[in-house]
Amino acid sequence: MKSVKPVLYSNDHKRIAILDSFRFLAITIVVLFHYYSRWATPEETSLYPYADKYDNAFFQNGFLGVQFFFIISGFVIAFTINGCKSILEFLKRRFIRLFPPMLFCSLLTFVFIKLLDPDKHLLQLHSNAVDLIPSLTFTEPGFFEKIFGLKTDYIDGVYWSLAIEVKFYLIFGILYFINRKSAWKSWCIFVLVIELVWMLIRYYKYEPVFASHDFFNVFSYIFITRYLIYFTMGILFFNLYKDRKFLNNRSNLLLAMFTIALLFATLYITEVMRFKYLMLIIAASILFLMFIYKPTYLSFLNNKFFQLVGLLSYEIYLLHKNIGIALINYIINVFSIGQYQFLVPLVIYGIIAGVSFFIFNYYEKPISRWLRVKLSV
């Protein structure tokens, strides 16, 4: 099979370079969404000094970068889990990847916002020490409030997607190690059962036990029903990457057809912005299919800068929103920026990327090496 050659970024981890370029695209549109559009309300309620002056359709749809990350994650987890001997090893490796940066970035965000905005003019960016609990455990705040009566929130609102990721790791990890040789079949059967049950629940207007989102009930909270379509697409693309003739097998083809058809039906029934999510899936599918079958078409993404930013995308994601918005306000309010306000968020993005570079190289990598020794992985 002819495919993009994995590029070695460190002594013990191989990465597919083009996926880091995909991560660059995803993190960039998410950052631009948060810096120009997310709070682009009238000036009296906006978190931006420039209010909605620079808001436009491109920035408004930047939230779709998170769903793109989910597709990438489906591919990457299907790729990396092959090198694990047990679910325990897999979960240890995920812990080593996720927890140290989350710990550092959560604490940094918590302290930095209080120092930069002591008068709480940007109240929505502030958090309490108790908010470290859902952030560091990768769980939804609603869980702690409903079960323990503990009212919490995330240190930074973007951390919600990490709770979804962790549930995917658990579900896919269990299914994979039950039957490694039929991981695709196991995943598709799981998705088909879960989505059919969920649609029946919705049809009969089942009242949720608790909700982590207006949309979720307890069933979807556990089984991440709203996001299975993205992870499924990623897993499918990995199987095509591994074997271009994967869908020539009738069983694989039928499972893919039925599973994706049901997922699209669920998307249509349940999502308010179904057209935008559909367009994201189509665009991401085109990118992945070109990567698998026509990699030369994506030669413009074989850029070391893109790949470096993609490599740092986890740290950038954890740091960019609250700290970035606080810095945008500080710089524009303290310095006479004038007509160059539009450039300030781009400068902040560069600063956050620079900080992420140092966190990755001088904190995450040494801590990860130490943890791999301690946890024997």
Instruction: Judge residue 211's burial from the number of C-beta atoms within 10 Å of its C-beta, 0-12 exposed, 13-18 middle, 19 or more buried.
Output: middle
Higher pLDDT, 202 or 363: 363
Instruction: Give the relative orientation of helices 87-116 and 160-178 as an angle to the nearest 10 degrees.
Output: 180
Q: Which helix (H) or strand (E) holds 194?
A: helix 183-203
pLDDT at residue 269, rounded to an integer: 84
pLDDT tops 80 at residue 82 = yes
Measuring CA to CA, which residue among 210, 178, 164, 2 is closest to residue 87? 178
Which residues are 6's β-sheet partners? 16
> Residue 89 contacts by C-beta under 8 Å, 6 or more apart in sequence?
377
pLDDT at residue 144, rounded to an integer: 85
Distance of CA 281 to the CA centre of its chain: 15
- Looking at the chain, the whole-number percentage of residues with pLDDT higher than 90 is 79
pLDDT tops 80 at residue 72 = yes
Distance of CA 287 to the CA centre of its chain: 18
Task: Say which range, 74-78, 113-117, 168-172, 267-271, has the weakest mean pLDDT.
Answer: 267-271
Share the mean pLDDT of the chain: 90
Q: What is the DSSP letter of 361?
A: I
pLDDT digits (tens, 9 = 90+) for 20-52: 999 999 999 999 999 999 999 876 678 999 999
Measuring CA to CA, which residue among 13, 21, 17, 20 is closest to residue 5? 17
> In sequence order, what DSSP letters do the residues of 219-272 get, joined into one string?
HHHHH-GGGHHHHHHHHHHHHHHH-TTGGGSHHHHHHHHHHHHHHHHHHHHH-T
Instruction: Quote the CA–CA distance of 202 and 195 in Å, as a whole number.
Output: 10
User: E-strand spans in the chain?
Assistant: 6-8, 14-16
pLDDT tops 60 at residue 258 = yes
The Cα-based distances of 96 to 102, 169, 353, 371, 376 in angstroms read 10, 13, 21, 7, 11
R_g over Cα of the chain: 21
Contacts for 12-15: CB closer than 8 Å, 24+ residues apart: 15/311
The answer to whether the CB of 23 falls within 8 A of the CB of 72 is yes
Instruction: Quote the CA–CA distance of 298 and 314 in Å, as a whole number.
Output: 23
pLDDT at residue 208, rounded to an integer: 46
Which pLDDT band holds residue 321 (cuts at 50, 70, 90)? very high
Instruction: Quote the CA–CA distance of 341 and 30 in Å, as a whole number.
Output: 19
Instruction: Quote the CA–CA distance of 156 and 107 in Å, as a whole number.
Output: 11
The string over 27-37, giving b where at least 16 C-beta atoms fall within 10 Å of a residue's C-beta and e elsewhere, is bbbbbbbbbbb
Higher pLDDT, 336 or 253: 253
Higher pLDDT, 143 or 95: 95
pLDDT digits (tens, 9 = 90+) for 205-234: 555 444 444 444 677 888 999 999 999 999
Which pLDDT band holds residue 198 (cuts at 50, 70, 90)? confident
pLDDT digits (tens, 9 = 90+) for 6-25: 443 333 346 899 999 999 99
Instruction: Quote the CA–CA distance of 105 and 315 in Å, as a whole number.
Output: 7
Q: What is the DSSP letter of 51?
A: T
pTM for the predicted model, two decimal places: 0.92
The residue extents of the domains of the chain are 6-374
Task: Say which range, 97-106, 135-144, 279-288, has the weakest mean pLDDT.
Answer: 135-144
Average pLDDT over residues 283-295: 97
Which pLDDT band holds residue 78 (cuts at 50, 70, 90)? very high
Instruction: Judge residue 71's burial from the number of C-beta atoms within 10 Å of its C-beta, 0-12 exposed, 13-18 middle, 19 or more buried.
Output: buried
pLDDT digits (tens, 9 = 90+) for 332-370: 988 878 788 999 999 999 999 999 999 999 999 999 999
